């Protein structure tokens, strides 16, 4: 897709005969969104952005998952990278970015608070359990100006329950001695809204040496109403603790022998993880058309991971203890002016300061090791700061009812220092001011059909404590990698009770870098191109049936190799990017009390590394079945059969750290899983 094609498409819809329809957004929602309405304020994603999907609470609250990021597997075009190594369980990605950890391209938020760790990984998601979630909102593409850092391919916001009067609980038991208990309480009166949550989960795990137990508590307190009182202030707080064993990756031969085993080399692998998040929220109605909102937040991430790579006892490289201690303090503020129905203006500022520590110890490959003995060497004992200032402005211009034009502009700037284990210090790469222009257009052809187009620029900066992220001695200066994306789509209703969307998109990076701070692994990919087609539909068929389906075709290729020497990567596919991701779902309301469900998820295979020589792996298709029976208005029971066909598949990682034994390594998925749950709503 060329730029002039997109421009022509925009011109065509702008010059078409004026429609009498109301201009509509292009958001698609699956399920019911139980979000408490607090009146006016800053612009929401569905008002200004075009490729937005929302998953409602009724598709979330009773799902049995090990980690909440797995819930996004129900949504269109979402790739789940299921590493299944204890607390290091996996992540979500989309728009042909992968979840391998080398380029973390998805901004993650909880109640609008940034929730990525320094590397961009999405570990803070684990703090929230399904019963606490009100909705999950996914924004794809490059035209969202609200966020800069990590917002390369889009963002995901987990909105938790706010306000209301309820006491909800869930107890579940399932395969491999999995136990789950959740309690959510909400009380609202006299302008004060209180929400509390406590959850715990424990499991023996599918494989040997795979046990896990975790706890989470949270609270939200909000006072006032923005519309009636002109102000609203609130505090949110969460704490989380997780202890987990790691079964380790397997060779192909080991998996054929016993896919549930864990080799002795991983006997002491495991993880202890603590996370905390506190947010202060303030919304003010300064005038009838002017609104101010701000969020202050503090994130703390502590992780002690013991991990063994490979299958041969070689030196002290494979066996490592990695310790993270990260603190983030930040602010996001917006000012929204709505003078009339034709124009809305919004500006925003954000600041985030990170104070991070990373220690990596290497141990001799002797079995067993306790990871608390004197290490063979300390590779990292680093302390680094990372600062981000950002600002944006966007407008909604609606000259006629059928047409909405949304221009936006964002800038970001970064700074920071590092001090390494050997006493070396350095400044963060001097990226300067990173500018990001954006534009979106939506045109309503009929009351139920609109076409849209968007264009925008995002960026990648390097993270971690060492070069090339920091200018330590000998490190050359680097520019940020800018990503320019465009999309053309249509949202329509093919028949009564149905919503559908189809879109074509493309995203070009100028000098992409594959970078994993935890291992110090960096590969300069150069110019890359991602492109694809997204198609999705959801429909209510009569009073008893609801169906939905989606299919995303995508590709990610290296257009120009920027490496100074070595085997050329030009024309190769970016690692771990499947060509397709498909979903299907059916709900049948057999009676007022009985509901039956079916969900399927599939993805294609992919190359394991950028040289494209290690073969293709990773394809699967799984089917989940469910039944829910409402005993009375307050009590219900459900059964869920996951991977009902017993499909054997595995996440595959390419063991390239140790060249003498480089080979695919496997983390097998569980087989058939059965869960029973008891739900209470008061």
Q: How do residues 83-120 score in pLDDT, each as one tens digit?
A: 999 999 999 999 999 988 888 999 999 999 999 999 99
225-281 pLDDT, tens per residue? 888 889 999 999 999 999 999 999 999 999 999 999 998 889 999 999 999 999 999
Give buried/exposed letters for 483-493 (b at 16+ CB in 10 A, else e).
bbbbbbbebbe
586-607 pLDDT, tens per residue? 999 999 999 999 999 999 999 9
pLDDT given at position 1: 42
Contacts for 395-399: CB closer than 8 Å, 24+ residues apart: 395/343, 395/344, 395/345, 395/346, 396/43, 396/47, 396/48, 396/343, 396/344, 397/342, 397/343, 398/23, 398/341, 398/342, 398/343, 399/342
Cβ neighbours around 189 below 10 Å, total: 8
Assign residue 412 the CATH number of its domain. 2.40.170.20
| Total domains present in the chain | 1
CA distance 308 to 327: 27
Q: Is 60 exceeded by the pLDDT of residue 39?
A: no
Q: What percentage of the chain carries pLDDT values higher than 90? A: 80
pLDDT given at position 101: 84
CA distance 640 to 677: 8
Q: Supply the mean pLDDT for the chain.
A: 91
Which tokens hold the place of 39? 């009146």
Residue found under tokens 């779902």: 585
514-545 pLDDT, tens per residue? 888 877 778 888 999 999 999 999 999 999 99
Name which of 150, 14, 119 is nearest 453 in CA terms: 14
The range of the structural domain enclosing residue 618 comes to: 3-681
Q: Is 50 exceeded by the pLDDT of residue 7?
A: no
* Mean pLDDT calculated for residue range 393-420: 97
Which tokens hold the place of 188? 């609202």
pLDDT greater at residue 503 or residue 657 = 503
Q: What percentage of the chain carries pLDDT values higher than 70? A: 92
Banded pLDDT at 555 (limits 50, 70, 90)? very high
* Mean pLDDT calculated for residue range 429-440: 97
Q: Minimum mean pLDDT among 48-52, 67-71, 315-319: which range?
A: 315-319
Name which of 571, 498, 506 is nearest 536 in CA terms: 498
pTM of the complete model:
0.94
CB 647 within 8 A of CB 630: no
Cβ neighbours around 265 below 10 Å, total: 20
pLDDT given at position 24: 52
Q: Minimum mean pLDDT among 231-235, 308-312, 325-329, 341-345: which range?
A: 308-312
Banded pLDDT at 566 (limits 50, 70, 90)? low
């Amino acid at each position: 897709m060329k730029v002039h094609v997109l421009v022509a498409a925009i011109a065509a819809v702008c010059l078409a005969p004026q429609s009498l329809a109301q201009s509509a957004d292009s958001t698609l929602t699956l399920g019911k969104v139980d979000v408490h309405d607090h009146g006016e304020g800053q612009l929401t994603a569905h008002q200004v952005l075009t490729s937005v999907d929302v998953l409602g609470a009724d598709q979330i609250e009773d799902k049995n998952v090990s980690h909440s990021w797995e819930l996004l597997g129900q949504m269109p075009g979402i790739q789940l990278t299921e590493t299944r190594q204890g607390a290091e369980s996996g992540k979500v990605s989309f728009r042909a970015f992968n979840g391998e950890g080398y380029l973390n391209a998805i901004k993650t938020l909880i109640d609008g608070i940034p929730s990525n760790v320094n590397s961009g990984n999405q570990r803070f998601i684990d703090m929230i359990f399904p019963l606490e979630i009100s909705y999950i909102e996914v924004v794809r593409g490059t035209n969202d100006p609200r966020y800069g850092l990590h917002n390369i391919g889009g963002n995901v916001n987990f909105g938790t329950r706010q306000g209301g009067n309820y006491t909800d609980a869930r107890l579940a038991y399932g395969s491999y001695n999995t136990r789950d208990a959740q309690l959510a309480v909400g009380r609202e009166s006299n302008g004060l809204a209180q929400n509390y949550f406590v959850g715990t989960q424990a499991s023996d795990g599918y494989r040997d040496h795979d046990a896990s137990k975790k706890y989470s508590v949270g609270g939200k307190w909000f006072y006032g109403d923005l519309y009636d009182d002109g102000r609203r202030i609130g505090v949110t707080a969460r704490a989380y603790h997780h202890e987990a064993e790691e079964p380790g990756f397997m060779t192909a031969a080991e998996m054929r022998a016993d896919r549930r085993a864990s080799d002795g080399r991983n006997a002491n692998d495991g993880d202890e993880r603590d996370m905390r998040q506190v947010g202060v929220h303030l919304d003010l109605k300064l005038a009838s058309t002017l609104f101010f909102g701000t969020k202050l937040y503090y994130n703390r991430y502590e992780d002690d991971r013991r991990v063994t790579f490979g299958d041969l006892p070689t030196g002290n490289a494979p066996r490592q203890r990695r310790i993270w201690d990260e603190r983030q303090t930040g602010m996001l503020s917006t000012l929204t002016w709505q003078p009339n129905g034709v124009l809305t203006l919004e500006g925003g500022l954000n600041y985030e300061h990170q104070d991070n520590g990373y220690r990596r110890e290497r141990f001799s490959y002797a079995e067993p090791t306790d990871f608390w003995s004197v290490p063979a060497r300390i590779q990292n004992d680093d302390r680094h700061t990372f600062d981000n200032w950002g600002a944006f402005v966007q407008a909604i211009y609606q000259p006629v009812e059928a047409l909405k034009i949304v221009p936006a502009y964002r800038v970001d700037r970064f700074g920071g220092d590092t001090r390494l284990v050997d006493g070396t210090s350095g400044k963060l790469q001097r990226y300067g001011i990173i500018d990001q222009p954006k534009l979106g257009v939506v045109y309503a052809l009929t009351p139920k059909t609109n076409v849209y187009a968007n264009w925008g620029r995002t960026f990648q900066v390097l993270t971690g404590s060492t070069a090339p992220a920091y200018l330590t001695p000998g490190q050359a200066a680097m520019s940020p990698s800018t990503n320019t994306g465009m999309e053309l789509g249509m949202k329509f209703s093919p028949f009564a009770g149905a919503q559908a969307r189809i879109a074509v998109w493309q995203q070009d990076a100028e000098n992409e870098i594959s970078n994993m701070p935890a291992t110090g692994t960096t590969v300069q990919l150069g110019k890359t191109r991602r492109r694809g087609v997204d198609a999705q539909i959801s429909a209510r068929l009569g009073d008893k049936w609801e169906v939905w389906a989606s299919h995303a075709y995508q590709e990610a290729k290296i257009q120009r190799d920027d490496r100074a020497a070595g085997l050329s990567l030009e024309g190769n596919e970016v690692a771990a990017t499947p060509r397709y991701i498909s979903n299907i779902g059916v709900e049948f309301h057999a009676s007022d009390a009985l509901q039956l469900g079916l969900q399927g998820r599939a993805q294609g295979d992919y190359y394991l590394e950028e040289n494209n020589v290690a073969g293709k792996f990773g394809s699967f298709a799984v089917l989940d079945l469910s039944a829910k029976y409402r005993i009375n208005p307050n009590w219900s029971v459900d059964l869920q059969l996951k991977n009902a066909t017993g499909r054997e598949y595995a996440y595959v990682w390419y063991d390239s750290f140790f060249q003498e034994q480089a080979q695919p390594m496997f983390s097998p998925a569980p087989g058939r899983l059965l869960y029973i749950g008891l739900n209470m709503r008061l």
